[in-house]
Every structure is written in C-alpha cells, then in structure tokens.
Amino acid sequence: MTMGQNEGQNEGQNEGTAAGGARRVSGRAWWAIGLLVALLVAGVGSYYASSHPDGLQYVAGKTGFGDQAKHSDAIDSPLSGYRTRGVENPRTSRGLAGVAGLLLVLAIAGGGFWLLRRRPSEQAAGVASTTVDDV
C-alpha cells in the first residue's frame, strides 16, 4: 500500500467518530434527546409548579384591589388554571397541561423559525448549482 492509499483508508474509518474514538451523536439525536428532556420536565416538573406563578392574586389581596378583579374569557378553556379539564388526578392534570403548553410553544416557535428561515435567492441558488461543465 502506498502512503496515499493508507491515508484514505484511515479517513474512511474515522468518519462518524470524534477524537478519542468515540462515536459522534448526530444533530437529530441531540434534538430528540432535548425534546424528551423537555417533555419530561414539562410533564413531571409542572406538578410542582405554583398555581399562581406570577403572584398577581397575592399582591392584589395584600394591596386591597383583589375584589375588583374580573375573570378572563379564557377561564373556560381546557387548560385554564394550569390544569387539564376532564382529568381528575391533579398530578396527571398538571402534567398534561405542561406537556400541551410545551408542544404549543414548540409548534409556534418552530413554525415561526421555519417561516423566517433564510432561503437562498434564485440567483444565489443558480450560482451555487453551476458546475465546471457549465462554465
């Protein structure tokens, strides 16, 4: 084997491995792991969250204007009050509300990023697809 052949074989063997011989994790695997961790935190951690995270009702009661509060139009929504309507178990109800909230935020943010992503213009795409044969 010549030196060039040996180098080519080593490069082919090292594809997909990081320094030290460990396999590299693909970008999709990182996204999947991140999504699973986020779902776990939303589903389990939401049970331990306060039902009044902003403290507005507490402050309104302390300052004396709590009796002037009006209910929101969303009070009858399926996820109002950090709970899932129709689910009797409080742990499951909050967990489902957390997971639904996470999925809603991911859908809105993901859709926004998808709509606003940088797209190559037709001119740039044409230049990028030009080959040596075309010149």
Per-residue pLDDT at 135 = 55
18-46 average pLDDT score: 86
Q: Which of the residue ranges 19-23, 46-50, 81-85 has the most confident prediction, judged by mean pLDDT?
A: 81-85
Phi-psi map region of 98: left, alpha, beta (phi>0 left; psi -120 to 50 alpha): alpha
Banded pLDDT at 32 (limits 50, 70, 90): very high
Query: Which residue, 9, 56, 37, is CA-closest to 99?
Result: 37
SS3 72: coil
Specify the pLDDT at position 129: 54
Q: What would the mean pLDDT of 131-135 be, rounded to a whole number?
A: 57
Give the chain's end-to-end CA distance (angstroms, integer): 37
Reading the block at residue 31, the tokens are 């996204």
Q: Is 127 a residue whose pLDDT tops 60? A: no
User: Which pLDDT score, from 0 to 100, does residue 59 have?
Assistant: 82
Please provide the average confidence, as pLDDT, over all residues in the chain: 77
Q: Give 22's DSSP letter.
A: P
Q: What is the pLDDT of residue 16?
A: 52
* Tally of helices (H runs) and strands (E runs) in the chain: 5, 0
Task: Check residue 8 and give its pLDDT.
Answer: 47
**Model confidence at 85: pLDDT above 80:** yes
